[in-house]
Every structure is written in structure tokens, then in C-alpha cells.
Amino acid sequence: MSLERIGVLATRGLAAVGLVLLMTLAVMTLADGLMRWLANRPIDGVRDVGALLIAVAVSCCLPVGLMERSNITIRAAQAALGAATGRALDAIAALLVQLVIAAMAWQFTVFAGKIARAGETTWVLKIPTAPFWYLVAAILWIAVVVQAIVVVLEARKLRR
């Protein structure tokens, strides 16, 4: 299996997990809203952990965006400077994206550590929040690996 195929399948699988999590949260939010409206009894915890679950769910979608190059990019220079220059710029840009994602993953790891040391919990259910942020950091490290694949793929195009 090619490097690209592995990256695509892995990131799509992770994104599917994120979307399923988001839909699960939507069902819980709907149930919470209905319970509040019909019985004036909201479900404890939906709002409490909802935001943290959203952070994890959305993070799961970030690697697929990198792998499928869905971020908005203006390629006006390619038209003016030629395809070879365009490919070189794509490779350099991919490397810059790699640096930014790696810096974010590093900072999220530090951020989660700070939250863990502070012993932060959710308001109602008193669930520790640090594990959620460690999970987000872990997903961002996966994104770093994914972007490394993108960098390799862009670099390979330079040989053409």
C-alpha cells in the first residue's frame, strides 16, 4: 500500500470517529433540550462535557484536512512562474505547515500538562479536563505525522 493511501485511510478513519462523536453529542444535546423544554429537567453533564467532546471531535477532523489539502490556498504564483516553481512552492509551504502544526502539538501538550497540574475539572460533574486536552494534543501529533507524509509526497513531485 502506498504512503498516500495509508495516510488517506488513516485520516478518514479518524475523521469518521470525530463525526460519529459529534453526532452522538448532537443526539445528547437534542435529548437535553427536549428534557429541559418538556420536563424542565436538563440532563446533567451534557453541557458540562459537551465542549470538551466537541474539541476532541473537531480535532479528529484536522488530519484529514491536511492529508486532502483542503486548506484554502491561492496558487496564483504557479500560473505566473510555471509548474516547476509551483511544485517547489508547494513543498516549501507544506514544510511551513508542518512547523506550525508541530508547534501547536507541542504547545497543546504543555497546555494539557498545565491543566493537569492545576487539577482543573468540569463545573457540574467534576470530571478532570486534562485527559481531553491530552487527547487533543495526541491527535495533533498524529496530524504532525500526516503532514510529514504530505511533505514527502510534495518533495517527490519535485523530481518530476
Partner 1 sequence: MSPLLIGALGLAALFGLIVLHVPIGIAMIIVGIGGYALQTGWAPALTLLASEPSGLLASVDLATVPLFLLMGTFATAAGFSRDIYSAAAAVMGHRRGGLGYATIGGCATFGAVCGSSTATAATFAKAALPEMLRRGYAPSFSAGTIAAGGAMKSLIPPSIVMILYAIVAQAFIFDLFIAALVPAVLAIALNLLAVAVVVRLDPGVAPLAARVAMAERWAAVRAAAPALALLASVFAGIYSGVFTVNEAASVAAVLSLVFAFARGRLDRASLWQGLRDTAAATAMIYVIIIGASLFSYYMTLARVPEALMSAIGGLDVPPLAIIFALLAAYLVLGAVFDEIAAMLITLPFVLPVVQGLGYDVVWWGIINVVVIELGMITPPIGIIVFVLHGLAPQISLPAIYRGVVPFIVADLVLLVLLTLFPAIALWLPSLLK
Binding site for partner 1 (CB under 8 A): 12, 15-16, 18-19, 22-23, 25-27, 29-30, 32-33, 37, 50-52, 54-55, 57-59, 61-66, 68, 70-78, 86, 89-90, 92-93, 96-97, 100, 103-104, 107-108, 110-111, 133, 136
Tell me how crowded residue 125 is: count the other CB atoms within 10 A of its CB: 10
Return the SS3 of 121. strand
Question: How near is the Cβ of 38 to partner 1 at its closest, in Å?
Answer: 10
User: What is the rounded distance in angstroms from the CA atom of residue 120 to the CA atom of residue 132?
Assistant: 11
Q: Are 65 and 111 in contact (CB under 8 A)?
A: no
Yes or no: say if 147 and 98 are a contact pair by the CB < 8 Å rule.
Answer: yes
Could you tell me the smallest distance in angstroms from the CB atom of residue 108 to partner 1? 5
Q: In angstroms, what is the minimal distance from the CB of 69 to partner 1?
A: 8
